[in-house]
Amino acid sequence: MALFGLPGVHVPHRKNTADSETVLMPPPETVVIPVVMHIGAPAKPTVKAGEVVAVGQPIAEADGFISAPVHATVSGKVQKVEDIVLSNGSSAPAVFIRSDGEMRRWEGLTPPTVETLDDLAKAIRDSGIVGLGGAGFPTSVKFTIKDIERAEYLLINAAECEPYITSDTRTMLDDTGLLVRGIELLKKLLLPKKVIFGIERNKPKAISKLKQAFAGGEGVTVKTLPSMYPQGGEKVLIYNTTGRVVPQGKLPLDVGVVIINVTTLAAIQSYIETGMPLVSKVVTVDGSAVAKPMNVRVPIGTPLADVFEFCGGFKSEPFKVLYGGPMMGTTVPNLDVPILKNTNAILAFDVHDSIAPEETPCLRCGSCVGRCPMRLNPPAIAKAYSQKDFDALGKLKVDLCMECGVCAYVCPANQQMVQRHKLAKAELRTYKQAKEAKN
């Protein structure tokens, strides 16, 4: 079992756009909507080239329990359904829709009737909502609970601990009413003993607004936490708000916690009230190469190039562009890739902020060990990985690594530990599968 308690690291906040009210971006000429924007099985396309679609219309159906449907995000005509290369190097079908600029709502949209927890899980599944904090796990699964008494805590992740990103902050400031009504519904259906908003103290306006909104609200606490990365890590936040530890291989519900991102909560309530599924996202656009950093609401599937152009283009040549934040974000291969369901930010950096320093031999200083929120031992993991000692990797609990990047951030030798841990985890899984197949 992992132990917690160390604070992680102080990272520059750079919340440059926290006070930037969200701007609505017009529909782009074409959207490219992948059928896999979530953890789990890809959705199955249900439309073909030449079909006319409207906003909110299903275009791909969920294919399995851990999956999520996909909806048209603009009105217009389907150009093609074709494989594209995703930022992780894999490929998946995507639906290309040429917008007619009208943003017509699909006539089949109706708000769901939600009277039971099963109704809620079905509604969330139909909405296509996944974890909007970046993980992309199908949210309906979290509310498929057989024994409701297990849900002692409802924890709302409002930490937003990555530098630059402020899209969750805008949710708290702009959609407070949705959050209040969403909590009322979840309290009624889940019957948690306590509801906690976990938020870092570097968001004073959001903290003030949430406390005001829930003042006198029975069983609802807005818990202000130190601004220490990775405060928003699921297991870290659970420990720092409830004192409970999620054991290796277990889920938050196993320790009595249901946890969702604050923007995910707002999206759920919005769907329940309007019947409009997840078709757009508020995205923070920032970085040293961006001309006008801002928060923008864009249709899912909008090419990154169009979003950056809407934000004034680039003031310097972008050398590296990321989905998400600088600590856990993913580098994109080009600007043709689209905004995804779980895209909370796109950051563009010039060459000065992009070149990684040269890696040198480990100094055995222990900085990485002392700061790892999961109490892992990166040097020992590195040794075991280099020797392909998979039994040792298992004992060192490399699977617990959440790839937060704290170890690499504090390393004076600039060791690329996150990449090594990713590879070690992948090879350990392959080793275990091969071992099980033999048995």
pLDDT at 228 over 60: yes
In which domain, by residue range, is 245 found? 117-274
Of all helices (H) and strands (E), which one includes residue 181?
A: helix 176-190
Instruction: Choose the final residue of a domain: 209, 240, 274.
Output: 274
* Cβ atoms < 10 Å from Cβ of 344: 25
Q: Which two structure tokens, joined as six digits, stand for 211? A: 């406390």
Q: What percent of the chain has pLDDT over 90?
A: 90
pLDDT at 102 over 50: yes
pLDDT at 252 over 90: yes
**Claim to verify: residue 124 and residue 264 sit in the same structural domain:** yes
CATH number at residue 253: 3.40.50.11540
CA atoms of 382 and 388, how far apart (whole Å): 10
Whether residue 236 lies inside any domain: the answer is yes
**Claim to verify: residue 265 and residue 372 sit in the same structural domain:** no
Q: What single-letter amino acid sits at 439? A: N
CA angle 124, 126, 132 (to 5 degrees): 50
148/292: higher pLDDT: 292
Looking at the chain, how many residues does it have?
439
Instruction: Choose the final residue of a domain: 274, 296, 317.
Output: 274
- pLDDT of 197 reads 97
- Residue 91, beta-bridge partner list: 85
- Residue 439, beta-bridge partner list: none
Please provide the distance, in angstroms rounded to a whole number, between the alpha carbons at the two ends of the chain: 26
Whether residue 327 lies inside any domain: the answer is no
What would the mean pLDDT of 260-267 be, rounded to a whole number? 97
How many structural domains are present in the chain? 2
- pLDDT of 437 reads 87
**Claim to verify: residue 269 and residue 372 sit in the same structural domain:** no
pLDDT at 135 over 80: no
pLDDT at 3 over 60: no
**Claim to verify: residue 261 and residue 383 sit in the same structural domain:** no
CA atoms of 277 and 286, how far apart (whole Å): 27
Give the global pTM.
0.94
CA atoms of 391 and 290, how far apart (whole Å): 46
Maximum alpha-carbon separation in the chain:
63
- Residue 217 pLDDT level (bands cut at 50, 70, 90): confident
- Residue 356 pLDDT level (bands cut at 50, 70, 90): confident
What would the mean pLDDT of 216-241 be, rounded to a whole number? 93
pLDDT at 92 over 70: yes
What are the φ/ψ torsions at residue 120 (nearest 5 degrees)? -65, -45
pLDDT at 100 over 90: yes
Based on the number of CB atoms within 10 Å of its own CB, is 3 exposed (0-12), middle (13-18) or buried (19 or more)? exposed
Whether residue 182 lies inside any domain: the answer is yes
Are 408 and 8 in contact, with CB atoms under 8 Å apart? no
Whether residue 166 lies inside any domain: the answer is yes
Are 344 and 280 in contact, with CB atoms under 8 Å apart? no
CA atoms of 339 and 89, how far apart (whole Å): 16
**Claim to verify: residue 122 and residue 266 sit in the same structural domain:** yes
Task: Please give the mean pLDDT across all residues of the chain.
Answer: 94
For residue range 137-184, list pLDDT tens digits in order.
899 999 999 888 999 999 999 999 999 999 999 999 999 999 999 999
Nearest to 69 by CA among 96, 17, 33: 33
- Residue 8 pLDDT level (bands cut at 50, 70, 90): confident
Q: What single-letter amino acid sits at 385? A: Y
- CA distance readout (Å), 28 to 106, 146, 309, 350, 397: 18, 43, 11, 26, 45
Q: What percent of the chain has pLDDT over 70?
A: 98
**Claim to verify: residue 371 and residue 243 sit in the same structural domain:** no
For residue range 388-415, list pLDDT tens digits in order.
999 999 999 999 999 999 999 999 999 9
- pLDDT of 4 reads 45
CA angle 341, 344, 346 (to 5 degrees): 110
Are 120 and 191 in contact, with CB atoms under 8 Å apart? no
Please report, to the nearest 10 degrees, the dihedral formed by the alpha carbons of residues 167, 72, 273, 153 taken in order. Answer: -50
- pLDDT of 218 reads 82
Whether residue 93 lies inside any domain: the answer is no
